[in-house]
Amino acid sequence: MYIYSSVNINQSLFCFCMIRWALGVLIYFMLQSDMPFGSWRESELEPFGKIAKGRLIIPSAFSVEVGDLITKLLVVDENTRLGATGADAVKEHPWFDDIDWKQIADGTSRVPQEISNRIDIYVETLQQDLTVPPSILTEDPADMTTPEWIKDW
């Protein structure tokens, strides 16, 4: 998804701090349609430098709450990053005040009407046919053989 801020060879390959970092990147991207530290396509090293120095610019269009949340999720030091003490710290952030976590956990949370309306409008105006042709199963054993290029692996 995006570069994780602090990779330490002595640590395990996964920790929840990575998920919280990714959540910050995801929220930023969903709201801005851009990466929080710039794109590697523009400059391969610039995003690394911005991450290492903690140079994050929050767009003025972001609410104070979401700016605060993203800033706290994208702290380079994973020990001081929001959620370092557990998921409840993230869930209790003011940006999530209207979220009913119990409904989400038990699957009874409803999609907001605004989102449902947008989906309905998109589907109604969609010009492309989204139907998928049915899969055809083959009975011919020759069709089931391993491709030649894979045998050398």
Q: Which domains does the chain have, with CATH numbers?
A: 16-126 (1.10.510.10)
Is pLDDT at 83 greater than 80 in this prediction? yes
36 vs 53: CA distance, rounded Å: 13
**Nearest by Cα to 70 from 84, 80, 60, 56:** 56
47 vs 121: CA distance, rounded Å: 37
* Tokens of residue 144, six digits: 């089931």
**How confident is the model over 96-102, as a mean pLDDT?**
93
pLDDT score recorded for residue 112: 84
Q: What is the DSSP letter of 146?
A: P
Is pLDDT at 77 greater than 50 in this prediction? yes
Q: What is the DSSP letter of 3?
A: -
**22 vs 112, higher pLDDT:** 22
44 vs 9: CA distance, rounded Å: 22
pLDDT score recorded for residue 10: 45
Is pLDDT at 62 greater than 80 in this prediction? yes
89 vs 103: CA distance, rounded Å: 18
**How confident is the model over 99-122, as a mean pLDDT?**
89
Mean pLDDT (the chain) is 82
**Nearest by Cα to 78 from 12, 27, 7:** 7
Query: Tokens 């710290």 map to which residue?
Result: 89
Whole-model pTM: value is 0.67
17 vs 19: CA distance, rounded Å: 5
